[in-house]
């Protein structure tokens, strides 16, 4: 039986299930003990499932739980990026003499923050610089990276805006070219269809003329015979 099906059956068979370490009579961790005491205090009947004894549930916890292999692997992948961001933020704080730096995406209640205090762009620039340093293959690229590092945030933002404007113009030009190509192809297709229709009409007209000539030729070679007996009878009566 698969783990999902087993858990589903347990939930269908019991109103309340507690997946815990140990048993309700002998919890083996603080969380399990706390939840067990709360349920008992509220006189709620529940079924305690010992995840330490259930191999399938234990396997799921070991692989996909809070401390499972998947979580640890993701943490290993993300940790270097988090460390890099932390080091850059710390460097910025020291250089600019900041006392505090807050993460606006966290649960900290922040009623207002002026844009001039936002260092997100500075952090991103620093990360991009680090990436570019690793990709340097010649002196020219090194000089270019050093030139960019000497720029202030405002100068870098202005350059970024110009580059974005150039990129937008390029995209607009490519879009315009694609639209012209679409219109041109549409006109060509319409002309091709018109040509095919006209061509078929000429072929049909030519075939009708050929059939008419053949029919007339056959009529001359094989005239329709007249009924002579009927003509003689009429003459005799007259």
Tens of pLDDT, residue by residue, the chain (238 residues)? 466 777 788 888 888 888 888 888 888 888 888 888 888 888 888 888 887 776 666 666 677 766 777 777 777 777 787 788 888 788 877 777 777 777 766 666 665 666 666 777 777 777 777 776 666 667 766 677 666 655 555 666 676 677 778 888 888 999 999 999 999 998 999 999 999 999 999 998 999 988 888 888 888 877 766 555 555 555 554 4
Please tell me the distance from the alpha carbon of residue 184 to that of residue 190, in angstroms, as a whole number.
10
Check residue 159 and give left, alpha or beta (phi > 0: left; psi -120 to 50: alpha): alpha
pLDDT of residue 146: 62
Write the CB contacts of 22 (distance below 8 Å, at least 6 apart in sequence). 28, 29, 32, 48, 50, 52
Full DSSP string of 71-90: HHHHHHHHHHHHHHHHHHHH
The two three-digit tokens of residue 125, written as one number? 């620039």
Domain boundaries, the chain: 3-65, 78-150
Please tell me the distance from the alpha carbon of residue 57 to that of residue 19, in angstroms, as a whole number.
9
pLDDT of residue 238: 45
* CA dist 112 → 60, 104, 108, 120 (Å): 44, 10, 12, 16
pLDDT of residue 19: 83
- Residue where the block lists tokens 């269908």: 12
User: Burial code of 209-218, b = ≥16 C-beta within 10 A, e = fewer?
Assistant: eeeeeeeeee
Domain 3-65 of CATH type 3.40.50.1370: no
State the greatest distance between any 2 C-alpha atoms of the chain, in Å, as a whole number: 140
148 CA to centre of own chain? 32
pLDDT of residue 187: 92
């Amino acid at each position: 039986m698969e783990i999902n099906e087993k858990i589903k059956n347990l939930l269908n068979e019991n109103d309340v299930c507690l997946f815990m370490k140990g048993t309700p009579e002998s919890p083996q961790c603080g969380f399990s003990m706390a939840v067990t005491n709360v349920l008992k205090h509220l006189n709620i009947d529940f079924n305690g499932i010992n995840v330490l004894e259930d191999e399938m549930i234990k396997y799921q916890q070991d692989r996909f739980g809070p401390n499972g292999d998947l979580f640890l692997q993701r943490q290993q992948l993300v940790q270097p990026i988090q460390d890099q961001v932390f080091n850059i933020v710390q460097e910025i704080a020291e250089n600019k003499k900041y006392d505090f730096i807050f993460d606006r995406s966290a649960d900290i209640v922040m009623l207002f923050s002026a844009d001039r205090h936002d260092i997100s762009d500075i952090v991103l620039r620093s990360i991009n610089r680090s990436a570019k340093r690793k990709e340097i293959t010649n002196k020219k690229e090194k000089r270019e990276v050093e030139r960019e590092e000497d720029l202030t945030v405002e100068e870098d933002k202005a350059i970024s805006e110009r580059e974005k404007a150039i990129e937008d113009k390029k995209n607009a030009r490519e879009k315009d070219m694609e639209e012209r190509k679409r219109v041109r192809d549409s006109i060509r297709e319409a002309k091709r269809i018109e040509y095919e229709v006209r061509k078929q009409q000429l072929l049909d007209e030519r075939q009708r003329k050929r059939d008419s000539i053949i029919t007339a030729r056959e009529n001359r070679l094989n005239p329709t015979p007249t009924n002579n007996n009927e003509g003689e009878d009429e003459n005799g009566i007259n």
